[in-house]
Chains A and B, each alone.
Chain A
Amino acid sequence: MTASAVPGATARARSRRSRLVGRLLGRLVFLGPGLTYLIVLLLIPLVLVLSYSFFRRGRFGGVVYEASGESLTRLLDPIYLDVVLSSLKLATVATLIALLVGYPTAYMIARLPRKWKTVALVAIVLPFWTNFLIRIYAWIVLLSGPGLVNSALGKLGLGPFEFLYNEGTIVTGLVYSYLPLMVLPLYAAIEKLDPQLAEASANLGARPARTFVSVTLPLTLSGVVTGCMFVFVPSFGNFVIPELLGGGRSIMVGNLIRDQFLTARDWPFGSALTLALLAVLIVLLLLQAWSARRA
């Protein structure tokens, strides 16, 4: 027995070792390249942004590499705090409008016959696949001083109005750009909802509004939260829409960040602003995860 057990044990040990080597090799081959890439070109850059925000700007635009809280404390300057608050406001308004328009649209699509459902969904996504800048440009053509909306109104004897370059146009641009991202998760949530639940609620005497608030909305809340995140995140950090439709003033954090890197050449402060932007979004993501766990 002992004579046969020993070679068996070594064979087992060898096969265990070869399996271990195989597993390590698998990890190295499959995970190695991608993770290395992400560490070098994603994590290290983020850490660099973090560390730059602890330096300060040199007199001629360079970076002074000594620890300083100057850049981070400048975030609390009312001028910059205002910009952060106004970005929060614009992104929130855009998100709410997208939700108010997107929810009924998603609801209608979910209740369409199968054939039309696909058509309606593709039609929602199509504009999203066209160049983002061109979609913004289209609004300039529509809304500018001699633009099409004004010439149409002019024929009615109204205007001309100055539609462009205010907060309203920025919100319009944000809603226009990200509405598809609101409709899709809402649709996914509403589609899963059993229509019989709403019918049951109606049969039990609930009015449509009541059914919506106590049955439909709670059951589709995950879609609402996801859709809101999808619209809020790109809106909050946007700099193209406020620049092209808002008249180029630094009204949103994105513009401010862009200016620090490309015109003011204050990289430490730009990094501090980028961190602030990231911090707001991380707080929101944590809130979302927390609400998902509760639901």
Chain B
Amino acid sequence: MRRSPLLHLPFWATYVFLYTPIVVLVVMSFNSGKSPYSFTGFSLKWYGKLAGNDLVKEGLVNTLIVAVGCTALSTVLGTLLAVGLARHTRSRLLDALGVLPAVLPDLVLAIGLLVFYATVKMTLGLHSVLLAHTVFGMAFVAAVVRTRLVHADNSLEEASRDLGATPFTTFLRVTLPQLAPGIAAGALLAFTLSVDEFVIAFFTSAPATPTLPIVIYSMVRFGVTPEINALATLLLAVSFTVVIVAQRMTRLTESLS
């Protein structure tokens, strides 16, 4: 059964299915012709055009502002929340509240925040997207840090307390260093999710300050242009690098510990 074509066929089909569109996008980004459908010759002109696209550049800057702010806020709030949930309460209700943003459909959160911002009469802009992204960013950081906390040695914290350290010192000098890899992984996750997030940003941003996914969305809706292929290829290169570096890093830290 293990070597039967019944398994091989879907296995390879999955990878062909997952990668064909991506390969096509990348190849067509180097096309010299205007048509994104037939390859007529090699050229980098779409990358040049992209470099001159102010909307894309603006979107990129907006996205980075939101993502950096959201990561900073999510990392602090998420780490504190993880420690709080693991060490300072046994309430299952609070546990559930902590994971709710991660399981809630993005559209529901987007609508909720849109209605909330309108009700409190807050103007929309990058700050409203940043605050919105932090809702799920914090939940993911908390989830990652908590898995780390479960494996962390509780007796070290107890020893620190018995030796007379205040809870604050214990947290800073014993708990936090043990959690560092988890916090870093959580921060990376929050950053990536924020950069990529579309639905919530779509509902909570102002038209004057679109994030990059919103710019991509309007480009895609407007029509097919090889410029999107060039942008797609660049984004693919960035995220592939990040994933592979993260993979290497976790393997490195695993082999060290």
Contact = CB atoms under 8 A, between A and B. Distances in A.
Interface of A: 22-23, 25-27, 29-35, 37-38, 41-46, 48-49, 52, 100-105, 107-109, 111, 118, 122-127, 129-142, 144, 146-148, 151, 176, 179-180, 183, 198, 202, 208, 211-212, 233-234, 236-240, 243-244, 254, 257-258, 261, 267, 270-271, 274, 277-278, 281, 285
Contact of B81 (A30, A102, A258): A30
12 contacts: A31-B84, A32-B84, A41-B134, A125-B243, A126-B240, A126-B243, A138-B21, A138-B24, A151-B37, A151-B38, A183-B14, A277-B108
Interface of B: 1-2, 4, 6-11, 13-15, 17-22, 24-25, 28, 35-38, 76-78, 80-81, 83-85, 87-89, 94, 97-98, 100-101, 103-109, 111-116, 119, 131-132, 134-135, 138, 142, 167, 192, 196, 198-199, 203, 213, 216-217, 220-221, 224, 228-229, 231-232, 235-236, 239-240, 242-244, 247
A256 to B, nearest CB: 11
Given A108-B8, A239-B107, 17 more contacts: A30-B84, A33-B80, A34-B80, A34-B81, A34-B142, A35-B84, A37-B134, A41-B135, A42-B97, A45-B115, A104-B9, A104-B10, A130-B22, A180-B18, A261-B111, A274-B112, A277-B105
Given A244-B221, A261-B203, A274 B111 contact: yes
Contact of B228 (A43, A134, A176): A134
A142 to B, nearest CB: 6
Contacts of B132: 41
Contacts of B109: 42, 45
A176 B20 CA distance: 11
Contacts of A48: 112, 115-116, 119
A164 to B, nearest CB: 11
Nearest to A105: B14
A142 B21 contact: yes
Given A45-B116, A237-B105, A30 B88 contact: yes
Nearest to B25: A138
A49 B111 contact: yes
A109 B10 CA distance: 11
Contacts, number: 245
B115 A122 contact: no
A277 B107 contact: yes
A35 B95 CA distance: 10
Given A22-B167, A148-B37, A137 B220 contact: yes
Contacts of A278: 105, 108
B112 A49 contact: yes
Contacts of B83: 30
A237 B203 CA distance: 15
B10 A26 contact: no
B115 A129 contact: no
Contacts of B221: 243-244
Most buried by B among A23, A43, A211, A240: A240
Contacts of A135: 21-22
Contacts of B98: 34, 38
Contact of B101 (A38, A104, A237): A38
A130 B236 contact: yes
A45 B112 contact: yes
A138 B115 contact: no
